[in-house]
Amino acid sequence: MAEISDVFFVDGMRTPFGRAGEKGMYWNTRADDLVVKAIIATLERNPNVPKDRIDDVAIAATTQQGDQGLTLGRTAAILAGLPQSVPGFAIDRMCAGAMTSVTTIGSGIGFGAYDIALAGGVEHMGRHPLGAGADPNPRFLTEKLVSPDALDMGVTAERLHDRFPELTKERADRFGMLSQQKAQAAYDAGKIQPDLVPVAVKDASGAWGIASEDEGRRPETTMEGLAQLRTPFRAHGRVTAGTASPLTDGATISLLAGGAAAREFGLKPKMRMVSFAFAGVEPEVMGLGPVPSTEKTLRKAGLSITDIGLFELNEAFAVQVLSLLDHFNIADDDPRVNQWGGAIAVGHPLAASGVRLMIQLAAQFAERPDVRYGLTAMCVGLGQGGSVIWENPHYDGKK
């Protein structure tokens, strides 16, 4: 009989995130190769894990075509040198792809079907822009099921500003500026680099180099500079490039295990999964998604928002994070929130981002034995939210 098990986040690594497009560092790099790099590095850092004991590999991608298609979990496992006996699959929940990889694999571990597995995601938005090749059912428009621009994420962000006038452009600009400053401070303190996988890349001239850090950071950002940026989603709008996550390429991987496997292989888990939840909202205001998903996961965990000591919230847009903070009466600059910056600074390679949040939360847990619970949460295209609550194994009960 399979036994119910704890679910542990043992480790996680990611590639540096690159700017999407011809000028980005991964323009000549395949999406599946980014995943393979992250898998190999994660397993090299965990040599106690026998490769033939990995029960499954779940890899998310939003635009599953070309080098991001063909059942990525299985193809990446083969390319990474895992035994042929290791299966794999692909998954898609747009921005929450990697998060769903983790919760799906975690569910299998909790049920006792898996002992140890890999979960992550990739997005090469330079090669595969959001929605490329998609053929939405015409009923969406003819029956007015969703607005024609519901897949234009910038428009959905502008609607949050409309719906909540207190979410001003100035607040969003300040949040965006602080994200850049916090990300650079984290880099300067060496917080981010230990979990990055260097990637060999080839530029347009054919010269080789190493991608070793996130490419899109703008630490010199100022409020004055942000005030001058154009608003591409609406004339006289409030969302700018300074308050939105840039188009990004990158991959993430996590190693998950049950309690028995962690003991058997002598693993030291970085986090324990407490609960998770996904929820739906109107696609036109998809940024509100993490509000109901967070309420749901708190309810399932028997916790309240005041129990959460650290937050890693995906900054698809500044206004989207602010809408969640306002809902839970959390200050814009609360030190518990995104203390190493977020996607506005480092980028948001859609299906990869959920595990980036987990990697950063795990590293923060190690520094904060006074914090027991943390939250990773994100909004999702087409009107969804995803939230996962984690427990800190380093918690010592002292405040």
Q: Which residue type is seen at 256? A: L
Find where tokens 């903070």 sit: 325
Tell me whether residue 155 is exposed, middle or buried, using C-beta atoms within 10 angstroms of its C-beta: 0 to 12, 13 to 18, 19 or more: middle
What is the token pair recorded at 145? 């099921």
Find where tokens 């497009």 sit: 21
What is the token pair recorded at 35? 């995943």
CB 253 within 8 A of CB 42: yes
Q: Which residues form the catalytic set?
A: 95, 348, 379
Q: What are phi and psi of 98, to 5 degrees?
A: -65, -35
Q: Which residue type is seen at 100? A: T
Q: Residue 119: helix, strand or coil by DSSP?
A: strand
What is the token pair recorded at 327? 């809902």
CB 12 within 8 A of CB 252: yes
Strands 373-380 and 271-280, sheet pairing: unpaired
CA–CA gap between residue 196 and residue 330 (Å, rounded): 30
CB 262 within 8 A of CB 11: no
CB 343 within 8 A of CB 95: no
CB 324 within 8 A of CB 300: no
Q: Residue 123: helix, strand or coil by DSSP?
A: strand
Tell me whether residue 306 is exposed, middle or buried, using C-beta atoms within 10 angstroms of its C-beta: 0 to 12, 13 to 18, 19 or more: exposed
Cα dihedral angle (29, 232, 338, 109), rounded to 10 degrees?
-50
For residue 16, give Cα distances in angstroms to 41, 88, 127. Answer: 13, 24, 17
Residues 6 or more apart whose Cβ sits within 8 Å of residue 284: 146, 147, 150, 156, 159, 383
